[in-house]
């Protein structure tokens, strides 16, 4: 009897090709669609219906059984509530990181094991080795290890990533050659539960907005903001103050929650957009910790998805990660993740809580 592998299928081309490849390799493959969000879009259409239809069509074509499982309550409790809490605190969260830890590699993994699977599979562009270490995907433009740094080795050893060693172009070519109905489907972008809807309108339905002043570092009021939660560090679009100042573009350089003030400045290379030191909390390691309490190591870090690796000195103090970037970093954003690497290996990381040059030092 062949080994059973349950594939988490989103209705996209990556997970569809993952299921196809595993079927061709002789595994007993089961496709499972995860429904994590109940809400309808602005047209009254359930956003998951079309994806679920695509999953059914692909599974019928490659001749594997399929199921749908509803994790909406788990998603609300473990991911969305955190998402709202972070925005309420003035930070810019990354719910995909938490979704991978809490839903895909916890709730879904448990579901797969209950279906009699020995392993689960996804369409993530990452790889693992025999030791269960998390490795970057082969395609540098699609590598998703940044989003999986909260997943532990024990979970990775029960997981398989069939497209992790491929480029996106290769994945699409396989889908086309096998006439999969999703071969030309666009990649999903943004936060999954918001979809293509207006972000400001969506967030405003859950959190009350508090408009306030836009202020320069010199204290000049140059406009009004709609609510601090709608803006992120380094943002240029949507500020509505383009006609002010010396003609250069305006950028968000910070937030003052106590005064409800959005700090803005002109110039893409404004010094206040850059920093070399930051602190991350909620630190998690994929495997064995790369440093002990009180130790400093040299490695690389990413402060956002698709960013090239940046050389850093990382120190662990009182459970917090203190990062000293050897190259000034632009728009390092509280609420986002700082993820550490050593070569191809993703070590782990944490949630950025402080960004500074003068105010944050390694104790």
Active centre residues (catalytic): 99, 192
End-to-end CA distance of the chain: 57
Judge contact between 279 and 360, C-beta under 8 A.
yes
Dump the DSSP string for 17-55. HHHHHHHHTT-EEEEEEEE----B-TTS-BHHHHHHHHH
Name the DSSP class of 336. B
Q: How far apart are the C-alpha atoms of 356 and 90, rounded to whole Å?
A: 16
Count the alpha carbons within 13 Å of 139 in the hemisphere toward its beta carbon.
15
Rounded to whole angstroms, how far apart are CA atoms 165 and 344? 12
Nearest Cα residue to 272 out of 226, 225, 233? 233
Separation between Cα atoms, residue 244 and residue 358, nearest integer Å: 30
Phi, psi of 282 (to 5 degrees): 50, 50
Going from the C-alpha of 281 to that of each of 57, 318, 337, the distances in angstroms are 43, 10, 9
């Amino acid at each position: 009897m062949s080994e059973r592998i349950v594939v988490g299928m989103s209705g996209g081309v990556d997970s569809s090709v993952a299921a196809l490849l595993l079927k061709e390799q002789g595994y007993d493959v089961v496709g499972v669609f995860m429904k994590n969000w109940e809400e309808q879009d602005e047209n009254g259409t359930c956003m998951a219906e079309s994806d679920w239809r695509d999953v059914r069509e692909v599974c019928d074509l490659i001749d594997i059984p399929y199921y749908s499982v509803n994790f909406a309550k788990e998603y609300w409790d473990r991911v969305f509530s955190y998402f709202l809490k972070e925005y309420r605190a003035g930070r810019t969260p990354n719910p995909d990181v938490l979704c991978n830890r809490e839903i895909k590699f916890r709730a879904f993994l448990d579901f797969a094991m209950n279906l009699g699977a020995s392993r689960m599979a996804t369409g993530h562009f990452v790889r693992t080795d025999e030791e269960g270490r998390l490795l970057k995907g082969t395609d540098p433009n699609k590598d998703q290890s940044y989003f999986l740094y909260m997943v532990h080795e024990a979970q990775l050893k029960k997981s398989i990533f069939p497209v992790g060693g491929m480029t996106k172009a290769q994945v699409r070519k396989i889908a086309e050659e096998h006439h999969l109905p999703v071969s030309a489907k666009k990649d999903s972008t943004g936060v999954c539960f918001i979809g293509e809807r207006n972000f400001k309108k969506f967030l405003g339905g859950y959190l009350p907005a508090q408009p306030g002043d836009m202020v320069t570092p010199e204290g000049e009021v140059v406009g009004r903001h709609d609510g601090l939660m709608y803006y992120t560090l380094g943002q240029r679009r949507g500020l509505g103050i383009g006609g002010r100042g010396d003609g250069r573009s305006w950028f968000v350089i910070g937030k003052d929650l106590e005064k409800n003030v959005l700090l803005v400045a002109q110039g893409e290379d404004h010094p206040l957009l850059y920093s070399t030191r930051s602190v991350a909390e909620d630190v998690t390691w994929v495997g064995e910790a790369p440093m002990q309490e009180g130790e400093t190591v040299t490695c690389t870090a990413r402060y956002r998805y698709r960013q090239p690796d940046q050389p850093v000195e990382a120190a662990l103090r009182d459970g917090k990660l203190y990062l000293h970037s050897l190259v000034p970093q632009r728009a390092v954003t509280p609420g986002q993740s700082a993820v550490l690497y050593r070569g191809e290996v993703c070590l782990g990381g944490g949630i950025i809580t402080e960004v500074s040059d003068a105010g944050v030092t390694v104790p």
